[in-house]
Structure 1
Amino acid sequence: MSAPRLPKLASTSEPWGPPSEVPTSLRFNNVPYAPYSKGDKLGKAADWAFDAGKDGKDQKRQQYGRGFRDPYHAYGSNFTSFFTNEEDEGITSFSVVDSAAKAAPKNAGGRGGSQHTILKSRRGGAGAAGGRGGSFQSQRGHHQGQGRGGQGGGRGQGFKRPGWRDYDKPQKVRDASVNITEGWSLIQSIGFNEFQKLSFDVRQGESIDSYGSVHYYNNKTLDKPSVNAKLEPLDRIVYNISTSDDPVIQELSAKDAGTVFATDSIISLLMCVTKTVNPWDIIITKKNGKVYLDKREGGPLDLVSVDENAADAPADATDSKDTLNNATALAYEATYINQNFNANAVIESSETYDFGKPNPFYSEEDQKQSEPLLAHGYDYKKFNLANNVEEEPINLVIRTEIDAAQKNLNGSVSLVTVKALNEYGGSTGALEWKNRFVNARGAIVAAEMKNNLCKISRWTVQSILAGANLMKIGFVSRVNPKDNTQHTIIGVIGQEPAQLSNQINLNLNNGWGIVKSVVNICSELDEGKYVLLRDPNNPAVKLYKVPSNAFEE
C-alpha cells in the first residue's frame, strides 16, 4: 500500500502563519456545512434522523417553552437539509399489513366485557348516576358537569384550563368616559408607573364640622354565619351632591378654610388610580385661587363598578348583546343594591346617632315628599398637604360620609360604613354564594378582593378618611340569574378598615403622594376649567383644558 501524498504547500518568505495566498486545492469551495453556534457542543457530522416535517412541527410547538433556542437557526449557512436523509416516495408509502385474523376477547359479553363500562362509570362517564364527577350535585361540583371527568366540566370531554390562550385574545378597545372635542387642549399626560413611585406622609386630619344623623346597625339580624334574607327595595331619598354644589363647602370656601375642595369619593379614586381599569373623568375648576374637584353628572363616579379587575370583566354595553350582564347594566344594579342594602342594614327608629347639625341637603321641599330620607352623617375634614409645618399650609377639605353606628358592649359607639358586593352569575350563570358562603367564605372573599380590587380599595380609603371604626360588607346575590330585580342577602362580614387595607396591600402613603402631585399640578394652572381623565386603553391619566361652558346643559 502506497503512502498517501500530502498536498504541496506554497513557499512563503515569512516563517510564521499561513501564506498570504491560499492555493485553490486547499480552499473549501462549494462544501456544505451544518449551521452551528459558538455555544453549541460538537455533535454529529451528519444528522440522518432529521425529518423536516416532524421536526418543524416540534420546533413550533416548543417555541414558547422556557429557555427556547432555535436548534436549526443558520448562523452562516442554509444547507441544513443537505445532510438529511431523503427517502423516496415509494419507500415512505410502503407499509406491512397484518392479514391474520384476530381472536375475539374472552367473555366479550360477560363479566370481563363489562369491566370497561364499570370503570367508565366510576370515572364520571355519561352513564354514571353516582360516579365521581357524574351528573349529580356534590360538594366538589355544585351543578352538573363540574366533577372530575363529568360532562363538559371536568378533566374529560370539554375541559378547558382557566386562562388558556389568554395571550392570544384580542385586546379590548374601550372608549373614553367623555367625548374629547376639538376645543380641548392636552396639558399633561402622566403614566401609572410615575404614580407608583410617589409617597407622602399626611398628618392626621382635622374635623371642621359635622352634619346629619345615622341609624344603628342591625347586628342581631345580619351578623350571623348565614343570613339568607330578602333584600327589600325601600324608597328613600339619597343625595350624591358634587363638590361645587355642596352648600357647606361653599361656606367653607368663603371663609378661606381650604385651598382645595373635594369629596371622599373623588379623593379615594385618585388614591387608587393605579388600580383602576374602567375609564373615568374628574372636572377641575380653578377660581379665585381655589381648586374644586367635581364629578360629572351621570358620569362613572355616580355608579358602582362590578368585576372591574377581573380577568374576564363584563363587556361594555356597546360591545355586548347581553342587556342584562353588560358593564353598564351591572353598574346600575350594583348602585341599586348598595342603596337598598344600606337601608336594610339599619334599624329605622326614633333612636339615632346625631352629628350635631341637621342634614345640609334635606330641604323643606324634600321634607314634603312621601319618601323618607336615607340617613347619612357628613364630617368635613381638613388635611394639610404642605411638606413641613414651617411652609405655608395647603389645606385639602374633604367631605366624608358615615352610614351607620353600632353600640358596643362597653357602652361606646362605633362609626360604621355599609357597602355591598353582588353576585350575578358571571359568564356561566351559576349562583354559588348561597351554598358556599358558610363553608367557603374565605375563598369567596379572596375572589372578590381580586375581581373588585379597585372598588374595595376605594371603600377602605373612604372609611379611613371618615374615621370609621368598622366596615360592614354585605354579600347580595340574585334570586334568579336571569332577573336583576330580585336579590337575597347571603351574609355580612365586618372588619376594621386598617386591617382590610393590610390584606389588600393598600399603600396609603402612595395614595397621598398621588393626591399631592395632582394638587401641585392644579396649583400651577391658570384659572379656568379642566378635565382629568383616565386613558381608556393605556395605563395613564391625561389633563385637558376645556371651555368654561363644557358639561353645562
Structure 2
Amino acid sequence: MAKFMTPVIQDNPSGWGPCAVPEQFRDMPYQPFSKGDRLGKVADWTGATYQDKRYTNKYSSQFGGGSQYAYFHEEDESSFQLVDTARTQKTAYQRNRMRFAQRNLRRDKDRRNMLQFNLQILPKSAKQKERERIRLQKKFQKQFGVRQKWDQKSQKPRDSSVEVRSDWEVKEEMDFPQLMKMRYLEVSEPQDIECCGALEYYDKAFDRITTRSEKPLRSIKRIFHTVTTTDDPVIRKLAKTQGNVFATDAILATLMSCTRSVYSWDIVVQRVGSKLFFDKRDNSDFVTLCCMVSDHGKERYNFPNPNPFVEDDMDKNEIASVAYRYRRWKLGDDIDLIVRCEHDGVMTGANGEVSFINIKTLNEWDSRVSRHLRHPPGDATSLFPAVPVSTG
C-alpha cells in the first residue's frame, strides 16, 4: 500500500503566503510572464521609431519591466568632473551645410521624377504640352536666371590677409559675440602728452554742397606719412618713461570695430620687455586715400612741436595738413595706453573756439536711381561732400 507523505507546511504567523524561496530558485531574477504576451525580438532598439503608434508596445509585457535589470552605479565618484556642454557658435559653413544638403536632395529627387516622366509613353497632346513647358522654362531661365532678390547679397570669396600655417600653436581663439562683450564701461578722460604738426583751416563752403550745387575736389600733390607704431620717434621716447601699451588711432579703431569687418585683416603685436606695441604691416589697408578740402588762403594752425616725420630738406608747403596728438588713457588692470591720434584740419566755431576735425568721404549715391545706398551704381566715381567729424 502506497504511503502518503505529508508536505512541509511553511508557517507564516505575521502574514500570508509563502515566506521562503526554494533552493533551486534562490538568487535568480524574477520576471513576471503572461501566456498572453507576444513573442518578439530578444532586443529591439527600433521599437520607439515606429511610425504607427499602435505597434509601439506590440511586444511589450503587460506586467512591465522589472527592476532586476536596472543599472546601479557602484563605482567611486571621487574623480567625477564636470564637462562643459555649452553649445559653441557654428561657422558659416556649418550653418549652411544642412541647407545645401537639403537643396541637393530636392534637386536629385526632381531629376529622378523627370527621368521617370520621360520614360512614360505620352499621347501626342501631352507631348506637345511638355515641349511647350520646357520651352517656357528655358526662356524664363534665360531672362531671370542671373537675377537675385533685392536684399540678397552675393557671396564673394575673400582671401585671408595672412596664411595660417599648420605648425602654428593656437593660444586663444575668440569669436565675434565674445568680442562684443569685451568693453570698458567707464573710461577716464585722456591726457595730452605731446602735440606735433600743423593744420590747415577747413573750407566751410563744402558744408553747403548739395546734389545741385556741386564742387569738385582738387587732388593736390602732398606728402602723407604712414609711419607705424614702433617706427614713431615720439613713441620710442615716451616708451622709456611711461606707458605699457602703444598703438595708433587707425589700429585701435580697427580693433574696436572688428565685429563689423567684412574683409580680412591682421596686425602685428610685438612685446618688448613688459610693453606691447601694436603695428600694421607694410602695404596694408589701414591707410586711406586723402583729398584736400582746406582753405589755402589762411595760415596754418601750428602745434607747439613740429611734425616728427618731416626732414629738414623737405618743402613745408608740400607737407599734408596733419597733426598728431599723443594721448594717454588709464584703462585699469595696470593698462597704461598711449595712442597717436591724427587730425586732418582745424575749424573755427561761431564763438571763435577752435575744434580739431577728421575729414572722411563717401561714394556719391544718385537718388534718381532706385537702388539702396549699400548697392551703389557701378559708374559712381565722384565723391560726396566731405563730412567733418569733430574730435575736440
- Into which bin does the TM-score normalised by the smaller protein fall? 0.5 to 0.7
Alignment of 1:12-27 (within 5 A): 20=36
Over residues 211-257 of structure 1, what are the superposed CA-to-partner deviations in whole Å (9 max), with x where a residue is unaligned? 11211111124433344222322110001110001011011012x22
What amino acid is the match of 1:259?
N
2:173 maps to what in 1?
189
Q: Counterparts of 1:274 and 1:490 in 2: how far apart (Å)? A: 26
**2:149 match:** 161
The alignment partner of 1:178 has SS state of coil
- Return closer, same or farther for 1:159/1:347 CA change in 2, 3 Å cut-off: same
Residue type matched to 2:36 in 1?
S
Aligned to 1:491: 385
CA change 1:19–1:160 in 2 (3 A) is same
Instruction: Indicate conservation of the 8 Å contact 2:361/2:385, yes or no.
Output: no
Matched, 1:359 2:307: yes
Higher relative contact order (CA 8 A, sep 6+): 1
Q: Distance in 2 between matches of 1:383 and 1:235?
A: 35
Structure 1, unaligned stretches of length 5 or more?
1-17, 23-33, 39-63, 65-88, 96-151, 305-334, 388-392, 424-432, 452-476, 499-553
SS of equivalent to 1:250: helix
Give the match for residue 230 of structure 2.
244
Residue 409 of structure 1 is matched in structure 2 by: 350
8 Å CA contact retained: 2:248, 2:340: yes
1:337-486 to structure 2, matched below 5 A, reads 339-340=290-291, 343=292, 345-367=293-315, 372-387=318-333, 393-423=334-364, 433-434=365-366, 436=368, 447=373, 481=379
Structure-1-length-normalised TM-score: 0.42
Structure 1 pair 288–359 and aligned structure 2 pair: CA distance change class (3 A):
same
Aligned-pair identity in percent equals 26
Work out the CA distance in 2 between the residues paired with 1:378 and 1:176: 32
Report the number of matched residues: 270
For residues 15-414 of structure 1, the aligned pairs below 5 Å read 20=36, 160-163=148-151, 172-180=156-164, 184-201=168-185, 202-226=187-211, 227-254=213-240, 256-302=241-287, 304=288, 335=289, 339-340=290-291, 343=292, 345-367=293-315, 372-387=318-333, 393-414=334-355
Per-residue displacement from partner, 1:15-73 (whole Å, max 9, x unpaired)?
Answer: xxx96157xxxxxxxxxxx96679xxxxxxxxxxxxxxxxxxxxxxxxx9xxxxxxxxx
User: What is the one-letter code of the residue matched to 1:161?
Assistant: K
C-alpha distance in 1 between matches for 2:53 and 2:386: 63
Label 1:20 to 1:360 Cα distance change in 2 as closer, same or farther (>3 A): same
Q: 1:249 to 1:217 in 2, by over 3 A?
A: same
Distance 1:157 1:182 in 2: 41
Do 2:246 and 2:277's aligned partners in 1 also have CA atoms closer than 8 Å?
Answer: yes
Q: 1:21 to 1:278 in 2, by over 3 A?
A: closer
Q: Which has the higher strand share?
A: 1
Larger Rg: 2
Q: Which moved more, 1:181-190 or 1:399-408?
A: 181-190
How far apart are the structure 1 equivalents of 2:146 and 2:253? Answer: 43
2:71 aligned residue: none
RMSD: 4.1
User: TM-score when scaled to structure 2?
Assistant: 0.58
Look up the equivalent residue of 1:359 and give its one-letter code: N
* 1:496 to partner: Cα distance: 5.9
Write the deviation string for residues 437-463 of structure 1: whole angstroms up to 9, x where unpaired: 9xx9xx97xx35xx8xxxxxxxxxxxx
